[in-house]
């Protein structure tokens, strides 16, 4: 099942917007299409809709499916996975937009250099690789949907901005204390059981932050549902 077909089952409206991005010299042309658009007050309202393309959503759905399976690259995902990936994409985009609003404009309320976001981006990238069985597995899933490294880094950058905004404006999640980590190590169902704490401290911290981030994003989405409008534009 393609992302377009699966998401079509969720359709609020039907139609097709074709996107044919220009090919760079020596590169094969990749044809993509929009499968959803969304808007909210935070992203500029209906006058400034955001778009989700089929390749991006298919890749994000593969990641969602891979999180529950130690093998494969998420082939054969179903409608539930597509819906979950779409909601994750939307809420992360809204949060990233809020982060940029805090840090840009004529009178930014917060100053943020590129370095903290780059460091957070690297941590989230590594956390994803660790959670999904390694870099090569994630890159194979990306290759299956013709997602290149630049596009992949764009996704990690969006995730970093969203995480930074949650930590800054919602709830501190990015810097767990030593006490919190040791408590998680003792009591949580993390993937590092059976190994000494000192050997797994760094990946455990990344795992813990990722778990807290997912919970915070889900909570934010629940509170924002009345403000966020998603319109499916996939074909029948």
- For residue 109, what is the DSSP state? S
Long-range contacts of 188-197 (CB under 8 A, 24+ apart): 191/130, 191/131
Query: pLDDT digit of tens for each residue in the chain (236 aa)?
Result: 555 555 544 443 333 223 333 344 555 555 789 999 999 999 999 999 999 999 999 999 999 999 999 899 999 999 999 999 999 999 999 999 999 888 775 555 566 778 889 999 999 999 999 999 999 999 999 999 999 999 999 999 999 999 999 999 999 999 999 999 999 999 999 999 999 999 999 999 999 999 999 999 999 999 999 999 999 985 65
Q: What is the helix (H) or strand (E) element at residue 79, kind and residue range?
A: helix 79-103
Residue 232's φ and ψ, nearest 5 degrees, are -80, 135
pLDDT at res. 21 = 38
Residue 67 in tokens = 């999180």
DSSP calls for 191-222: TTTTS-HHHHHHHHHHHHHHHHHHHHHHHHHH
Q: What is the helix (H) or strand (E) element at residue 137, kind and residue range?
A: helix 135-144
pLDDT at res. 16 = 28
Residue 221 in tokens = 């989405």
Residue at token pair 């082939």:
75
pTM: 0.84
Indicate the domain borders of the chain.
Answer: 3-171+227-232
Q: Is 52 helix (H, G, I), strand (E, B) or coil?
A: strand
pLDDT at res. 106 = 52
């Amino acid at each position: 099942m393609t992302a377009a077909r699966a998401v079509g089952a969720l359709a609020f409206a039907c139609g097709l917007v074709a996107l044919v991005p220009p090919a760079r010299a020596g590169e094969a042309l990749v044809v993509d299409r929009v499968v959803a658009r969304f808007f909210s007050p935070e992203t500029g309202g209906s006058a400034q809709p955001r778009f989700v393309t089929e390749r991006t959503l298919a890749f994000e759905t593969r990641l969602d499916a891979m999180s529950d399976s130690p093998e494969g690259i998420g082939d054969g995902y179903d409608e539930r996975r597509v819906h979950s990936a779409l909601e994750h994409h939307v809420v992360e985009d809204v949060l990233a937009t809020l982060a940029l609003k805090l840090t840009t404009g004529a009178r930014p309320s917060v100053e943020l250099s590129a370095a903290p976001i780059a460091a957070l981006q690297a941590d989230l990238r590594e956390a994803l690789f660790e959670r999904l069985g390694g870099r090569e597995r994630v890159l194979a899933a990306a290759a299956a949907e013709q997602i290149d490294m630049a596009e992949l880094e764009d996704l990690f950058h969006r995730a970093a901005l969203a995480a930074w905004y949650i930590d800054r404006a919602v709830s501190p999640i990015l810097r767990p204390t030593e006490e919190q980590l040791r408590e998680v190590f003792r009591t949580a169902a993390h993937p590092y059981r059976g190994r000494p704490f000192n050997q797994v401290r760094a990946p455990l911290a990344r795992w813990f932050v990722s778990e807290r981030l997912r919970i915070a994003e889900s909570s934010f989405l629940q509170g924002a549902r009345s403000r966020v409008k998603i319109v499916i534009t996939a074909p029948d």
